[in-house]
Each structure stands twice: as structure tokens, then as C-alpha cells.
Amino acid sequence: MMEKLVFIQNKTRIHLTIPSRDLTPADVNVTNDIFQKVKTGELVSSGDITIGVDRDSAKLVIETFKDAKALRVGPMEQSQEVFGVTIPLGPFVVTCPHAYIPLEDLDALEKTISTASPEETIHIRLRPVEGHFMVLQYTKWLPQEGGVSADLSSLAPPGSKPVRKRKAKSRRSHRRK
């Protein structure tokens, strides 16, 4: 768990302090969730996923997913909280062949949206149709072209010094007079 928190802290550049209380299963789940998102840029699930979005994005999500036929929605902005600290995850896109908002959530969700301020975070539970899965892609954290992450510091052995890029040496030919 500690390694994951250090990784999140280094990758996001946001200081995290572990509380002096016992960690709950929810703390562990949130940490694992954020770790997966910032490490790979993706979260794949065959179970329910709860996303937190602003009011306008919530309206879009409801329209897209209430009939269990969406293929893709986004980009939307998302942040997630761990130990009282908000981690901005940036824009993300949800892709799935068949997912929906559970009927038992829909009425309460529509009421929440109607009274929410534009910047208020609204939590929406998405459920894939049985036999299908959802992919959330966080564009800020996806590996760069060629499949190589922009930040390779997590691959360095413990205790090693950070690798710095060397300046390319000039290969100009010098003429002597």
C-alpha cells in the first residue's frame, strides 16, 4: 500500500499524508483505484464503476447511459479523494459496448442534478450489461506514443539517482583556417 501511495504522490506531485487511524477497506480500494489510473491511464471493469463528474457532464452521462446502448462518452474531468486530499485525474473517456445507470439510481440522480450547482461533483454508478465490460481512459496518464510512459522514474531501482537526459553533442565539422 505504501509503495502505491508513494507512486501516486510522485506521479501527481501532490503531497499525501497517511492518517494516524487504521486504514479502512475503502481507503485501500480508493488507493488501488487511483494507482491503477495514474500508472496505466486505464481502468477496466466488468462490475459497477462510480464516477464523479460536474453537473453538465452528469446530464450527458444520463442521456448516454440510461438506455444501455452507449459506446463512448467523454471527455469529462474527474478528481478523486484519498485521505482528505483531492487528486485531479484530468479528462477521461468511458467506452463500453453495453452499460447503463441502474434504475434504482436514476430518479435520485435526476433530482440531484436538478438542484446541483454547476461545479458540484455528482457521483454516478454505471453498470455493464452482463458479459460486457467498461474501459475508462484517463488521457493525462496514458502512455506516450510507442507505449513508453513519459515518466520512467517508477522503473528505477530503489535508492538510485534520477536519470537526467544528456544534451546531444553537436556533430558540426569545424574548419581550420
Per-residue pLDDT tens digits for 43-83: 888 888 888 888 988 888 888 776 666 667 778 888 888 99
Q: What is the pLDDT of residues 136-159, one digit of tens each?
A: 899 999 987 644 333 333 333 334
Q: Quick check: is 144 in a domain?
A: yes
In a domain, 158, yes or no: no
Task: Measure Cα distances from 55 to 36, 100, 105, 150, 155 in Å.
Answer: 26, 18, 16, 32, 38
Q: Does residue 161 form part of some domain? A: no
pLDDT digits (tens, 9 = 90+) for 75-111: 888 888 899 899 999 898 888 778 888 888 988 999 9
42 belongs to a structural domain: yes
Say how many domains are in the chain: 1
129 domain-assigned: yes
What is the distance between the alpha carbons of residues 72 and 123, in angstroms, rounded to a whole number? 18
H or E stretch covering 128: strand 122-128
CA–CA–CA angle 152, 3, 158 (5° rounding): 55
Task: Tell me the C-alpha to C-alpha distance, in Å, between residue 169 and each of 122, 166, 173.
Answer: 53, 9, 12
User: 27 is in which domain, residue-wise?
Assistant: 2-148
**Is residue 165, in this structure, part of any structural domain at all?**
no
Q: Does residue 16 belong to any structural domain of this protein?
A: yes
How many residues are listed for the chain in this entry?
177
Whether residue 114 is predicted with pLDDT greater than 90 in this model: the reply is yes
